[in-house]
Structure 1
Amino acid sequence: MGAIHLIRHGQASFGSDDYDQLSALGTRQGSWLGLAWEAADFRPHWSVAGSLRRHAQTAVAVLDAVDGDLYDVDAGWDEYDHLALAGEKVTPTTDPREFQAHLDAALGAWVSGAPSPVESFAEFSARVLRALDEAVAQAGSGRRVAVFTSGGPIALVASHLLAGDASLFIPLNRVVVNASVTTLIVGRGGTRLLTYNEHGHVPADQVTFR
């Protein structure tokens, strides 16, 4: 039986001029996961990251700890453009809770098929599920796959595995912790969700959601 570990990137730089950059804490969060893998003598057989900088930086922080091989890149694992979707400029003074409420409203309209300035939700879903198919193929029998991605793709995959559709996407997306691990098992019975949003490797006072 194979396994796929979906890793959300570490904390990014919310409110800065460049969100797609790990904060100092985000880098530490990735390192903590790598150290947990090292302690457990865990190493993936194949790793892949989305094409965003925060995906690459998280992959490096984690894999360095376990002397992991280089990772492949698949833009299918990229996050939707949440800043464009929310339709507002984020500044260092933007309140995260206010922004989240605005984003949740925009996500509801996006999922329902309303016109948006970014790719449609159907297009987003199709590319993420194509990327998942490749990861499933790589998992094979008894292989461990690590995927470095974002909260949106993780929530979409989990929703499809739990409900058969995207109906759980928004509530699952809202709670994905930075540097958390969601594990899927791949076997004769198909692909199933084993655990969601594991983050015990992150100290409780260092848990973040953006």
Structure 2
Amino acid sequence: MPVIYLIRHAQASFGSRDYDKLSEQGEQQAVLLGKALAARGVRPDLVVSGSMSRHLMTAQLALAAAGLEGQAEVDVGFDEFDHEQVILAHKPAYRRRAVMLADLARTGNPHRAFQEMFSAATERWMREDDGYTETFQAFAERVEAAVQRTAGSLGKGGTAVVFTSGGPISSVVSRILTDGGDGLWLKLSPLTINTAITKVLAGLSGLTVVSHNEHGHLDGTGMISYR
């Protein structure tokens, strides 16, 4: 039966002006991920990546650490949603980054305050269409189409490794577990760990989640992260 491993990118540069690049810790996570894939005997017939730098760099480092040759095929269907647009639709004043940073700093716990604000922003995105180039429904549908494309590209017993983000992975899992629904997305997305592995089987009856958010390769390393 075809297998798809959905892998969240390694830690990006949260808090910097260029979020879309791996942090030093992220680079280390990607290497550990690659070694874990090799230890599990994962030999992909197909490697796919979203188009974002954090996806592509995670793929490059992990494949090299796993001793696998070749490059990932890019499928923009696996790209993360535009988190900046989602935040601005919720808090237009945050168009000025300094305003957002000042608001978060005043709370005394900027990381927690950001997560609370971001959760409210994503809830708004799920409910409303105004202010977004891509609605939540459009996002979920493009991700679903991307995973179906991947499944359709695999022969009997084939294996695909996909490097993507927490949002797309959570969307895939939510739709599989709730028979096409998005109700679990808000709960799953914030808890997706960097370089965590989600295993999906593609059978005649559709997709099945075998495991979700596996991150044993990071246990004991002190490198578990969510952003």
TM-score, structure 1 normalization: 0.94
1:115 to 121, 127, 130: 130
What residue ranges of structure 2 are gaps of 5+ in the alignment? 89-93
1:68: how far off?
3.3
Say if 2:48 is the partner of 1:31: no
Cα distance in 2 for residues equivalent to 1:21 and 1:91: 20
Which has the higher mean CA deviation after the structures are superposed, 112-121 or 72-81?
Answer: 112-121
Cα distance in 2 for residues equivalent to 1:75 and 1:180: 20
Aligned residue for 2:216?
200
Cα distance in 2 for residues equivalent to 1:116 and 1:26: 32
Aligned residue for 1:189?
205
The Cα offsets for residues 45-99 of structure 1, whole Å up to 9 and x where unpaired, read as 1011001000000000111122232210011100011122112336598622111
Letter in 1 for 2:87: A
Aligned residue for 1:97?
112
Letter in 2 for 1:171: K
Which has the higher mean CA deviation after the structures are superposed, 77-86 or 191-200?
Answer: 77-86
1:147 to 162, 166, 178: 162
Aligned CA RMSD, in angstroms, stands at: 1.6
The ranges of structure 1 where at least 4 consecutive aligned residues each deviate by more than 6 angstroms after the TM superposition are: none
Percent of pairs identical after alignment?
37
Aligned residue for 2:74?
73
Cα distance in 1 for residues equivalent to 2:79 and 2:101: 23
Contact 1:79 1:150 in 2 (8 A): yes
Contact 1:9 1:148 in 2 (8 A): yes
What residue ranges of structure 1 are gaps of 5+ in the alignment? none
Alignment length (residue pairs): 210
The Cα offsets for residues 111-133 of structure 1, whole Å up to 9 and x where unpaired, read as 11241344111111121111111
Aligned residue for 1:17?
17
1:203: how far off?
3.3
Instruction: Report SS of the residue matched to 2:175.
Output: helix
Matches within 5 A, 1:120-139: 120-139=135-154
Aligned residue for 2:182?
166
Aligned residue for 1:157?
172
Cα distance in 2 for residues equivalent to 1:18 and 1:202: 25
The Cα offsets for residues 26-63 of structure 1, whole Å up to 9 and x where unpaired, read as 11111101011222332211011001000000000111
